[in-house]
Amino acid sequence: MHAVTVPPSSYEDPIVAPHSLQGRRVLVVGGSSGFGRQVALDASLAGADVVVVGLDPSKSHATAQEAGALGHGKASALAFDVTTDAGRARLVEAAGTVDHVVSTLGGRLGDHVREDDDAAVREVAERKVADNRALVDAIAGSVRDGGSLTLTAGATRHPGEHDGHGAVEGNDEIQELVRELALALAPRVRVNAVAPTWTQTPLWRHHSDAAVVEMRHRMEALIPLGRTADIREVARAYLFLMTSAFITGATIPVDGGYSLT
């Protein structure tokens, strides 16, 4: 049995260097919870002015306040449904010019969708691709030259016992979308994605503690590194892509080797 690697216990990490995003404006769509919230906090620690976008005004403002307290930059909040034409138009008008955009749209299945319902998963995946394409089409013109857009895919294995065809094809399409957009927007703006596997975040709060523990143990048995990710490990991949000026069209798996199996 291989030793299980241990996640980081603090923010002492070169990816979250205090000035790596100094003077940059970072727009985080889906920033009020989960991966997006952690990205907003880490970007603020790295010196960025952060704009948190979410559906729930109170959660968005709470994250913005926390980010502002952690970092030296400014933090603000917006509450729009960016899956609608009207919401995207309001976002573009309110956000102004930014340096980097992070989108966690479609980061998880809704509570009403069963993982073994391949048709429903496929429908969610198609909507995720369409929503992210529409968001990029709307916001790309607001990104300064040399900036970036980072989307969220997902780490899946080949279709089989644990990942159905819908989930695999949906994540493949996000990666293809990233490659397409990277070529279309080059050289002005870079486009990449982060592909995490199952990670314990507050998004699973509607499930019982026992169900979350069962899901985590099931995933730990499937992941070569023997554990699930700490949410900060996933967030740091977004910061890495924001600050890596010669990477575009890439999807980085943050999955402990899950997609290799």
> pLDDT tens digits for 147-178?
999 999 987 765 554 554 555 666 788 999 99
Sign of CA dihedral 242, 235, 8, 199: negative
pLDDT of residue 116: 56
Nearest CA among 95, 103, 98 for reference residue 77:
95
Residues 12-22 pLDDT 10s:
555 567 789 99
Euclidean distance between CA atoms 39 and 199, whole angstroms: 14
pLDDT at 102 over 90: yes
CA-derived radius of gyration, the chain: 17
DSSP helix, strand, coil percent of the chain (3-state; round to 5): 45, 15, 40
Residues 118-147 pLDDT 10s:
677 778 778 889 999 999 999 999 999 999
pLDDT of residue 106: 75
Residues 51-84 pLDDT 10s:
999 999 999 999 999 999 988 789 999 999 999 9
Say how far residue 196 (Cα) sits from the centre of its chain.
Answer: 8
Confidence band (pLDDT; 50, 70, 90) for 215? confident
Confidence band (pLDDT; 50, 70, 90) for 1? very low
What does the angle CA 104 – CA 177 – CA 141 come to, to the nearest 5 degrees? 75
pLDDT at 91 over 80: yes
103 pairs with which residues across the strands? 29
Say how far residue 41 (Cα) sits from the centre of its chain.
Answer: 13
In this predicted structure, which of 34-48, 125-139, 208-222, 226-240 has the lowest mean pLDDT? 208-222
Residue 192 burial by Cβ neighbours in a 10 Å radius (0-12, 13-18, 19+) = buried
pLDDT of residue 109: 47
258 contacts 155 by C-beta, under 8 angstroms: yes
- Which domains, from first to last, does the chain contain? 18-260 (3.40.50.720)
pLDDT of residue 6: 52
pLDDT of residue 10: 45
Nearest CA among 231, 197, 203 for reference residue 59:
203
For the entire predicted model, the pTM comes to 0.87
DSSP 82: T
Nearest CA among 132, 144, 146, 148 for reference residue 43:
148
pLDDT at 216 over 50: yes
